[in-house]
């Protein structure tokens, strides 16, 4: 342990951990040096971890200010989902509109026919109720939030829909990334992915309370601790004003999950290595179409995804003979050979997955 002047004031050697934790204490002098102290843990000869804490003069707070801002929300007192409410879904403004009713979970399933859509992407907007216009400054106007999502077009000559459910447990927090794929009889791989933000919860539940909740100075009280079986619990008692001044030092599930060295993998970027591979499938040569006096030139739309883009976004390397790339149009240049038209690509990297069986389709993640 080092004081603010970088003097080593205390040290522990040969510390043994119990269930991955240890509890140590260090007595301060009657007039310690105020400032930032540092705890240095030597994990090996070339690796160490540091953590800082501050020692300051404690001043008893004379008052506490509570600021409560007025806020209107369309939820009940327990933040429970609202059922049997109408949700208005619109696509690209007025191109498509439909009303849907929420179920007991506050959810509503819907589908959109995009066979006539020609854009590279579409914007879906969900509204609950229209805004109310009140022109009196003394009136309180309720605000109904909306949600928007932009979806890029995905290449596939076939389509279909289905629903699935999966359990959400603490093991998948704070982010769950789902991949759904299938291989058609023609050898085409159809894939889709979705990210789910999972609440930062810890599997072992703990509850702490005082009996009675309030008391006079120097009075007796009882501390009750309830936890899941075989839980290792640690207690800390500090004045409430300490956490009010430095809330970032409060221990919470979010602060624990922030210590994870890796939360998600995206793309094929690994250090400075370029692991993107070229599409070895032959390009498609198409002729221009003359119709009603107009010449139509085939192009590869920008922003249109395929199964390869889905897998690359998840950081998965694929070795397969199936079709994961959308067709690419050959470009003709005078005096040159036929060349493939490439879109922009990014550097990327992957991790090796545990051995799994996939018929003619293998994934490796690293």
CA distance 200 to 176: 12
Shared-domain flag, residues 64 and 147: yes
- The whole domain housing 145 covers 59-153
Q: Strand 268-269 relative to strand 348-348: parallel, antiparallel, unpaired? A: parallel
111 is a domain residue: yes
CA distance 65 to 60: 15
Contact in structure between 269 and 346 (CB atoms under 8 Å): yes
CA distance 112 to 124: 10
**Which conformational region is residue 93 in: left (phi greater than 0), alpha (psi within -120 to 50 degrees), or beta?**
left
From 57, 74, 104, the end of a domain falls on 57
Percentage of the chain with pLDDT > 90? Answer: 3
Alpha-carbon torsion, ordered 149, 154, 159, 160, to 10 deg: -30
Check residue 204 and report its DSSP letter: S
142 is a domain residue: yes
123 is a domain residue: yes
Residues 275-287 have a mean pLDDT of 81
Neighbours of 209 (CB within 10 A): 11
Shared-domain flag, residues 72 and 149: yes
Residue with tokens 């109408």: 86
Contacts with 204 (C-beta within 8 Å, 6 or more apart), sequence order? 227, 228, 231
Check residue 295 and report its DSSP letter: E
235 is a domain residue: no
For the stretch 140-160, pLDDT in tens is 667 777 888 887 777 766 666
Domain count, the chain: 2
From 96, 130, 153, the end of a domain falls on 153
Shared-domain flag, residues 76 and 144: yes
Contacts with 121 (C-beta within 8 Å, 6 or more apart), sequence order? 150, 151, 152, 153, 303
* 3 state SS of 2: strand
Shared-domain flag, residues 141 and 113: yes
CA distance 308 to 315: 11
Residues 160-185 have a mean pLDDT of 84
Residues 183-204 have a mean pLDDT of 86
117 is a domain residue: yes
309 is a domain residue: no
From 93, 120, 153, the end of a domain falls on 153
Distances (CA, A) of 290 to 119, 294, 296: 22, 6, 6
* 3 state SS of 140: coil
Burial 330-364 (b: 16+ CB within 10 A, else e): eeeeeeeeeebeeeeeeebbbeeeeeeeeeebebe
CA distance 132 to 143: 8
CA distance 322 to 311: 13
pLDDT band for 137, please (50, 70, 90 cuts): low
Shared-domain flag, residues 112 and 33: no
- Check which CATH number belongs to the domain holding 38 and give it: 2.60.40.1930
> Does 137 sit behind a cis peptide bond, omega within 30 degrees of 0 on the bond before it?
no
Shared-domain flag, residues 149 and 63: yes
Contact in structure between 133 and 100 (CB atoms under 8 Å): no
Check residue 8 and report its DSSP letter: B
Residues 245-253 have a mean pLDDT of 76
Q: The pTM is what?
A: 0.54
Q: Is the pLDDT of residue 339 over 50?
A: no
32 is a domain residue: yes
145 is a domain residue: yes
CA 228 to chain centre: 28
Shared-domain flag, residues 145 and 86: yes
For the stretch 340-351, pLDDT in tens is 444 433 333 333
Query: Which among 360, 359, 351 has a CA at the least distance from the CA of 270?
Result: 351
Shared-domain flag, residues 97 and 122: yes
User: 339: which strand partners?
Assistant: 331
pLDDT of residue 326: 85
Shared-domain flag, residues 20 and 35: yes
What the block records as the tokens of 240 is 């409430």
The residue among 333 and 103 whose pLDDT is bigger is: 103
């Amino acid at each position: 342990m080092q004081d603010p002047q970088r003097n080593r004031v205390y040290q522990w050697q040969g510390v043994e951990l119990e269930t991955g934790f240890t509890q140590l204490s260090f007595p301060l002098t009657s007039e310690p040096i105020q400032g930032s102290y540092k705890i240095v843990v030597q994990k090996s000869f070339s690796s160490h971890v540091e953590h800082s804490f501050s020692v300051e003069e404690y001043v008893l707070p004379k008052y506490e200010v509570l600021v409560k801002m007025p806020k209107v929300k369309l939820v009940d007192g327990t933040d429970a989902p609202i059922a049997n409410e109408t949700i208005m879904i619109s696509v690209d403004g007025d191109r498509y509109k439909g009303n849907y009713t929420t179920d007991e979970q506050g959810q509503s399933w819907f589908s959109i026919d995009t066979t006539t859509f020609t854009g590279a992407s579409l914007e879906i907007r969900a509204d609950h109720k229209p805004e109310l216009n009140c022109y009196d400054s003394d009136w309180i106007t309720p605000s109904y939030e909306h949600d928007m999502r932009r979806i890029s077009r995905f290449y596939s000559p076939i389509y279909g829909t289905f629903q699935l459910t999966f359990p959400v447990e603490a093991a998948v927090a704070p982010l769950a990334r789902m991949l759904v794929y299938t291989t058609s009889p023609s050898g085409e791989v159809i894939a889709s992915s979705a990210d789910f933000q999972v609440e930062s919860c810890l599997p072992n539940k703990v509850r702490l309370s005082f009996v009675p909740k309030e008391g006079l100075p120097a009075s007796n009280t009882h501390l009750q601790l309830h936890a899941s079986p075989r839980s290792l619990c640690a207690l800390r008692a500090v004045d409430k004003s300490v956490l009010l001044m430095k809330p970032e030092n409060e221990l919470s599930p979010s602060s624990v999950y922030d210590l994870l060295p890796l939360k998600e993998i995206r793309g094929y970027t690994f250090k400075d290595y370029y692991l993107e591979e070229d599409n070895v499938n032959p390009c498609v040569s198409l002729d221009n179409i003359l119709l009603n006096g107009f010449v139509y030139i085939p192009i590869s739309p920008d922003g249109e995804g395929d199964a390869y883009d889905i897998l690359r976004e998840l950081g998965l390397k694929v070795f397969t003979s199936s079709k994961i790339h959308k067709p690419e149009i050959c470009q003709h240049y005078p005096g040159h050979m036929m060349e493939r038209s490439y879109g922009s690509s990014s550097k990327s990297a992957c991790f090796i997955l545990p051995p799994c069986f996939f018929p003619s389709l293998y994934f490796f993640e690293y």
